[in-house]
Structure 1
């Protein structure tokens, strides 16, 4: 029988490590997920490597512990937990529940004490004990049976401390780590230690005398006048510090180690949580579904002769493709039903049937689709235009509940207790095993999807009417789907020669920067190596280290940005990194996305974000970085597809702030927009109490960050990171802003109160976002929901406005008989290509249409430009 093994994890320490190791990440619902994701990666690695029979995650129970009675300033000076991390703790607990990992906390004690007590018990019972933390204090627990693993670089690198490793590293035994902390203190826990005694001195004393007690017994033998003086004057501090650093191994815990056996994860709950958090990579790594519940048999007629097709005036349909990218995937066939007969038409039959094409094109024939945009775009690629879409399962479901993330028709159907359909994964397989099944299986699968649409249509339409969202669905999202399908199919011409030349120019610029950096450093080195770069900056050049990692100096972007004023080499290094990413991610990435027609065909995800914003994939054209000139130049590769045509772009100016002014009815903000003032300058004047001439560029930059921060629900931590200031300063800016704009403050209070009463918030066009945690007793969950309540109506209304503008613009172009084509929507900007002789007309009608898409109490303002490429429109 193999030896039992217990793994004990320090929950708080690992959560902090994950949060600060990864950049701030959010999913499409707005939840910050970097700590959860990092913690999950650590957890998976630990379970895989250690294969524990028993496991526990210990949490700190609160700010006050028994150590505070010894020293009230224990852990004093620690900054408040960033709200972006606080809101993730409930999800970390949900994650552990899904993994079926026990959790424990004990009032007045720290996670260290729980771990210390259980490690002692496990050791005594002959178990193998693995302790995992980011806190080196726990190395005192190392023994023959206990290994203490301390996180080093990132989230997966662990340094294993056994008694032998502690001896090799410090020349001490594990228990002497407590004495070392007693002498040198620990600033991270505000343990004072003896002034003037650092790690080297403490180790030297302990090697000579053995313990704090023995040091003081032999004080007359200690060499060094100043050291002896410091030890003498701070004897009480030394013994107190040792007590504070000692982990309690007899804490009054109420759990038995034998009850901490590990059964393994609950796969269904883990998958559900990954879906909620949108951890797509982790979902893909989970084993595919191999079995499904028995489903009712249906009779699907496979059409082989186009002349035998009988089509009703209204039918549900599904265009079946093996891949989700409908702009590239081959069409297998179309499943259709009139509610009674279910048919499957192989695509080779569809292509040959004029009768079917005519039915698709007939506006009077009502079509109910699983995904009208995918159906429209995929068929349009083959010259078949579909008119008359009256229902879209995906969009209806999304509007009814935007927080749900659906991967296929089967997952949508299950939401409404409809189970007579299998997932695509079951039918097609996954990864390398993914393949088309036989025609009968394919026909059955496509037919079931069409049947699901037919049966779910009345249920969803009733729900939308009950929620007063039917107009949003039918008048905004449905017509937009067809427009987006047309935009996606049209694509945007991409000049490969220009793209490659930009790549050549970037490579030359990188070589130039390399040369400058080497000259400033006085030697060649690997700029992309954090270790080598750290040695150059902090040892050779002598800059002040801000942060250290387990492997050396931190050279992360936030660290280098703080050092930029100390040496001009920093600016060149930051630029070198940014240009390197531009070259690898965008130049090489976009080159691979050019289709055979010389265009990039991005896909717009219409049913994804909870705010209603569109997102762009394959590739993401909304994410091309434009802060650097070199990044902006990438847009030069996007050009008109016809000779003699130009690119025309129109951009809403500060649309979200204008929506905020309207919704908050703040008098100062409304007046600023009505009088055409620069809102950021005006904000700086009011917040800093200066006149217009007194507003410096830094003041305006701060005002701009606060303005947009308010819209996006920013915290003092988020603003401090954005502006590189302290959290206290950031908090003061936010408070002053809200005092200056009382209407905004009142709006925030009112919208939260309304959300608590209704359980959701709405945009001006009645788009809902449900907030189940708005009344949660958990402070972190409730706080996040409150911030979401404040900013969703603003962001969502801005998203609805540009969607409405796209619909109105499409209609206006047809009305004017123009050849102009809409190519892209990027955030608040619409991009067109047009014949040169239509530009004057566009100057007139585009701002007119966009500015009157929705009437507000402040004017919407649109700025336009045109040129030979997208780059020239700025």
Structure 2
């Protein structure tokens, strides 16, 4: 049987664009929509195995429907230029696959799809329509299935007649009647004001069509509903007409011309390479199409016994684990490459060898690794100390190419011209098929990986030296990776009972809030269901709907914030959501990741993720515990020292980014304020409002604080107006007065953007770079973002470098002084330690001293230090 797949090109491209982060290749061409579209296309080809295909596009903004209703699709935001630029690439992609595409002036993609679906239906073909638009459900029949995208792009839900009946209780053709009654905000189809999906379906189940509903108004219960229907008859019928797909588009081709079969694989791979879709180049369709550059021959020895001559220094080493969360992961084996030879060492052989264990911890024996932090943790869980790390390929790649989203070894090898290696997925498989291969396959793969590190070490250090980044690499990032590895292995103790008590208290408060919300609503309903909540708020309580989505009323946080004064229920719902998230994410979430044996949480620190150099943490993210809410702060009570009688010590940099700004901008007033240890926000209020200290009001200080921190992030008058609840004009005047008070700050902001435009990047004081190709973008929003980033990165990045330097120096001090105290966490500008009673006084002096002396600036660095029985008590 012939099978025709019809794809709604615009819909899928939009979905892909907004589902994926903004990506671009090294030529600055945006590619995220094309990438998402491609992954969907490959999945369709693999799963549907179509005999015929066509992708339909909208030809322009105006269609025949605009004659009926000139506001049709009005209010839609203009297509972002970053997406518009990708449509030619999408067409090129389809041509490479030999997939037919079609667009026609005056018609929409839906109409083209509807026309071809009906033609194929007459020929008894099987038809699959792929879109994100529910309007196409009206085409569903015995032979036509409509697959609607759900989350992301590749996750779809296939609708046949049975599923439409199950979800809506109507026939596919009645979709147009439903749209006529309820309207569609995405297409600006008005429908009947105040009629939602629930009411529309109820009416259609009773009367069948919109015409019969309008003819039977007297039989409908509810005075308000009757009035709405009676007052909007013509609008309802017009809305149905607008929602109806036209199935007689003048398409001159034949169905047979849509045949899909062979395509030029070379052309497809060439396009993928151009777009830098490396994962698709290496694993395409069923995985058969890969880069056909032959792998270089490699000879190696499998060691069943380790001898001294095998452990030459320096040596490149791969410590292979499969799990993304590598704590306590099984080591698959070791690849070892140096000038004397290439070896694969089975795990048992390595860990049982005293020679290997001694070599691993010997700091004079230099090791070159892919990821030193991971190596420290993986071996640490096996009670093997790793020291002497002399090169970390991951960190070198991160410093040289901070904008790249992937620092996998295969990608680094490809970018830097090393020997080609297979992707891990090609060796281990993926998903349910993931497994460890035979030893000979594994051994060769690990030796090849170690060989890449061996090849690239010298080359990448030369690049770092050329960028003036070798010191940053050698003295900061590499030693920090070892420090972080030891912090991960150490973990932080959790009082599980305390956490459960906090959770029980939250549950109690959630139950009370739920009852209050139900009482205010006058009925019980699922508060976590946007659909049910929307019906209660906008139909039953008749609050003004702020925003509608394709699935109904929006009940997002920004919508509820705007409704805050309309009804008492809103604040209760917002509070309910806050406490619910605390309970599910931070109570239940933390309990799940508390280690069974150690009773600790072993978070993973991401050192090569952010472009500013900031650290982040995952599994769990301990930097995101919401401490503005007292209920959130209390979660920190559960974080305690690992030994009885010890204390948690917290040391926090005070206003570090403003101090860095004062130094970088060399602003005399700011420098003077920090040197005199004045309250910087009060001082700013005095300067901007021209008042004496005693005349500074709390509102003045609040405004000064907002602009102080906002300036660091290149805040606009709009951003400041939103923060302070003032007009844009007032915000603009405030910013202007700020710059008059601190002219050197204004000069810095202007000069750094010009410097970045000339160089293509900005740097921190320690020479960390962030490349900003968007500074030359034709798109205003993209260019503005890059300008704000140019202003902010040297400040935020230097602050990140300072705390990293403090961490490395604190670790050195703890080691050299032989102290038992341990560095446990880094959270934003704060370091968390656990301290025994005998070292308490010493640490209360040592920690702030080391942190304040981490980097010499024109202003003093200031650290607030405190201690307590828990992380909460330490603040």
What residue number does 1:219 align with?
A: none
What residue number does 1:830 align with?
A: 831
Equivalent position SS for 2:859: coil
Q: Tell me which moved more, 85-94 or 552-561.
A: 85-94
Once the two structures are TM-superposed, the CA of residue 682 in structure 1 deviates from its matched residue by: 5.7
Equivalent position SS for 1:621: coil
What residue number does 1:740 align with?
A: 738
Once the two structures are TM-superposed, the CA of residue 731 in structure 1 deviates from its matched residue by: 8.4
Q: Note if contact 1:87-1:780 (Cα within 8 Å) is conserved in structure 2.
A: no
TM-score, normalised with respect to structure 1: 0.77
Q: Note if contact 1:649-1:865 (Cα within 8 Å) is conserved in structure 2.
A: yes
Q: Note if contact 2:53-2:100 (Cα within 8 Å) is conserved in structure 1.
A: no
Equivalent position SS for 1:822: strand
Q: CA 1:432 to 1:241, structure 2 compared with 1: closer, same or farther past 3 Å? A: closer
What residue number does 1:568 align with?
A: 568
Q: Note if contact 2:316-2:338 (Cα within 8 Å) is conserved in structure 1.
A: yes
Q: Note if contact 1:713-1:787 (Cα within 8 Å) is conserved in structure 2.
A: yes
Once the two structures are TM-superposed, the CA of residue 639 in structure 1 deviates from its matched residue by: 0.9
Q: CA 1:41 to 1:158, structure 2 compared with 1: closer, same or farther past 3 Å? A: farther
What residue number does 2:298 align with?
A: 298
Query: Any idea what the Cα deviations from partners look like across 1:485-509, whole Å, max 9, x if unmatched?
Result: 1111111112222222222222222
What residue number does 1:631 align with?
A: 632
Aligned residue pairs: how many? 831
Distance between the aligned counterparts of 1:89 and 1:52, measured in 2? 30
What residue number does 2:323 align with?
A: 323
Once the two structures are TM-superposed, the CA of residue 623 in structure 1 deviates from its matched residue by: 2.3
Q: Note if contact 2:114-2:246 (Cα within 8 Å) is conserved in structure 1.
A: no
Once the two structures are TM-superposed, the CA of residue 548 in structure 1 deviates from its matched residue by: 3.0
Query: Any idea what the Cα deviations from partners look like across 1:213-237, whole Å, max 9, x if unmatched?
Result: xxxxxxxxxxxxxx99999xxx9x9
Once the two structures are TM-superposed, the CA of residue 513 in structure 1 deviates from its matched residue by: 1.7
Distance between the aligned counterparts of 2:654 and 2:662, measured in 1? 14
What residue number does 2:358 align with?
A: 358
Equivalent position SS for 1:425: helix
Equivalent position SS for 1:318: strand
Once the two structures are TM-superposed, the CA of residue 600 in structure 1 deviates from its matched residue by: 1.5
Instruction: Extract unaligned runs of 5+ from structure 2.
Output: 165-169, 201-209, 215-228
Instruction: Extract unaligned runs of 5+ from structure 1.
Output: 201-205, 211-226
Distance between the aligned counterparts of 1:291 and 1:440, measured in 2? 21
What residue number does 1:224 align with?
A: none
| Equivalent runs, 1:238-637 vs 2, <5 Å | 294-307=294-307, 309-406=309-406, 408-595=408-595, 596-637=597-638
Once the two structures are TM-superposed, the CA of residue 702 in structure 1 deviates from its matched residue by: 6.2
What residue number does 1:868 align with?
A: 869
Q: CA 1:230 to 1:394, structure 2 compared with 1: closer, same or farther past 3 Å? A: closer
Query: Any idea what the Cα deviations from partners look like across 1:372-426, whole Å, max 9, x if unmatched?
Result: 2222232233333233221112211221212224464333222222235333323
What residue number does 2:771 align with?
A: 770
Distance between the aligned counterparts of 1:744 and 1:498, measured in 2? 47
Q: Do residues 795 (structure 1) and 796 (structure 2) align?
A: yes
What residue number does 1:645 align with?
A: 646
Q: Note if contact 2:140-2:160 (Cα within 8 Å) is conserved in structure 1.
A: no
Once the two structures are TM-superposed, the CA of residue 821 in structure 1 deviates from its matched residue by: 0.6
Q: CA 1:796 to 1:346, structure 2 compared with 1: closer, same or farther past 3 Å? A: same
Q: Do residues 15 (structure 1) and 5 (structure 2) align?
A: no
Q: CA 1:160 to 1:730, structure 2 compared with 1: closer, same or farther past 3 Å? A: farther
Equivalent position SS for 1:871: coil
Distance between the aligned counterparts of 1:603 and 1:252, measured in 2? 59
Distance between the aligned counterparts of 1:780 and 1:255, measured in 2? 41
What residue number does 1:215 align with?
A: none
Distance between the aligned counterparts of 1:275 and 1:509, measured in 2? 51
Once the two structures are TM-superposed, the CA of residue 253 in structure 1 deviates from its matched residue by: 13
Q: Tell me which moved more, 802-811 or 686-695.
A: 686-695
Query: Any idea what the Cα deviations from partners look like across 1:103-156, whole Å, max 9, x if unmatched?
Result: 99999x88x667768977997998999998889999999999999999999997
Distance between the aligned counterparts of 1:402 and 1:631, measured in 2? 33
Q: Note if contact 1:288-1:425 (Cα within 8 Å) is conserved in structure 2.
A: no
Distance between the aligned counterparts of 1:706 and 1:76, measured in 2? 39
Distance between the aligned counterparts of 2:514 and 2:558, measured in 1? 21
Q: CA 1:675 to 1:305, structure 2 compared with 1: closer, same or farther past 3 Å? A: same
Equivalent position SS for 2:527: coil
Distance between the aligned counterparts of 1:766 and 1:378, measured in 2? 31
Distance between the aligned counterparts of 2:804 and 2:757, measured in 1? 29
Distance between the aligned counterparts of 2:600 and 2:297, measured in 1? 44
| Equivalent runs, 1:669-684 vs 2, <5 Å | 669-670=670-671, 672-680=673-681
Query: Any idea what the Cα deviations from partners look like across 1:413-451, whole Å, max 9, x if unmatched?
Result: 222222353333233222233233333333333222222
Distance between the aligned counterparts of 2:580 and 2:279, measured in 1? 29
Q: CA 1:562 to 1:616, structure 2 compared with 1: closer, same or farther past 3 Å? A: same
Query: Any idea what the Cα deviations from partners look like across 1:656-679, whole Å, max 9, x if unmatched?
Result: 333333333455555554454555
TM-score, normalised with respect to structure 2: 0.76
Q: Note if contact 1:333-1:347 (Cα within 8 Å) is conserved in structure 2.
A: yes
Q: CA 1:53 to 1:606, structure 2 compared with 1: closer, same or farther past 3 Å? A: same
Distance between the aligned counterparts of 2:817 and 2:395, measured in 1? 30
